[in-house]
Amino acid sequence: MAEVVIVENAAAAGALVADEIARLIAADPATVLGLATGSTPLPVYEALRSRLDGVDVSQVRGFALDEYVGIDPSHPESYRSVITREVVEPLGLDPSRIRVPDGRTEGIEHAGADYEAAIAAAGGVALQILGIGTDGHIGFNEPGSSFASSTRVKTLTEQTREDNARFFPSIDEVPMHCITQGLGTILRAKHLVLLAFGAGKAEAVAGAVEGPVTASLPGSAIQLHPHATVVVDEAAAAGLRYADYYRYTFANKPSWQGL
């Protein structure tokens, strides 16, 4: 099962994950990172700024999880813009090495296969950052997504559109479709790091970590991965049955093991 780390707050989670990413980049300057958008990963990117200060990141590569379909890449809420603003620019990464699925409608029929080929050509993702939706989605793999799925177009649930309406002038402007790495794609990353904060995520986290492995809760796919780490605050951990065991395990984690 996933290793669960319960931390005091989002900043502590950000520090923990940023340390691991900095370690990877120090070991391999061309590390391939799996990037996520949304509010959850922001503390990781924030913590990375100081850790990568003065580090040569010119070779670092990255693949975002998903993008809206039919949104202009220059729209401030396209995930291309979000990744540029929140990750590429603050960390000084080379924009040409950071890919986001192409959500433009022209050519959308081969955008998924192109993205899969690019990830494979890069040698796969070393560490994939994940958030989780209140409905249990990871990436934009909504309930019902196949565990074998690859990058493809999906229809967003009403719930997800409502959750993301805060980034748009109105819910009517939240796109209906997205292009997302599949659960199969995500499971091919070497290390999954799923973060969640706040009581609103407690049910999804409990289902993903301790519930049945089911396409009805796509986050539960992490149970099939040999190296998945779930970093949560107390509020998001509230539904976990074995929380005490996770605390005990982490407190006694061998120092050689890394995250």
Residue 166: exposed, middle, or buried by beta-carbon count in 10 A (0-12, 13-18, 19+)? exposed
Would you call 214 helix, strand, or coil by DSSP?
coil
CA dihedral 232, 42, 139, 127 (to 10 degrees): -80
Q: Which stretch binds ligand PGA (CB under 6 A): 3-11, 95-103, 110-118, 130-138?
A: 130-138
Closest residue to ligand PGA, based on beta-carbon distance: 38
Q: Dig out the tokens for 247 from the structure.
A: 């605390």
**180 sits near ligand PGA (criterion: CB under 6 A):** no
Q: CB 222 → ligand PGA: shortest distance, Å? A: 13
Q: From CA 224, how far away is CA 252, in angstroms rounded?
A: 24
Does 14 participate in binding ligand PGA (rule CB under 6 A)?
A: no
197 HSE (CA, 13 A, CB side): 15
38 contacts ligand PGA (rule: CB under 6 A): yes
Stretch that binds ligand PGA, among 34-42, 119-127, 148-156, 248-256 (CB under 6 A): 34-42
Sign of the dihedral through C-alpha 127, 66, 138, 109: negative
Helix (DSSP H) and strand (DSSP E) numbers for the chain: 9, 10
| Active-site residue set | 66, 135, 137, 142
Applying CB under 6 A, the site for ligand PGA has a residue count of 6
Per CB under 6 A, does 218 bind ligand PGA?
no
219 contacts ligand PGA (rule: CB under 6 A) = no
CB of 201 to ligand PGA, least distance (A): 7
Report the interface residues with ligand PGA, using CB under 6 A: 38-40, 131-133
